[in-house]
Amino acid sequence: MTYQIDAWLERSDPYLRIIDCQSGVVVMEWRNQRLKGLLEQGDITRQELEDKSTNQQALVRDLFLYDCIS
Q: What is the mean pLDDT of residues 1-14?
A: 88
Predicted local confidence at residue 34, as pLDDT: 86
Q: What is the pLDDT of residues 15-63, one digit of tens each?
A: 999 999 999 999 999 998 888 888 888 888 888 888 888 788 888 888 8
Q: How many domains are contained in the chain?
A: 1
Domain residues for the domain of 31 are 3-69
- Strand order in 15-20's β-sheet? 3-8, 15-20, 26-31
Predicted local confidence at residue 25, as pLDDT: 97
Rg (CA), the chain: 11
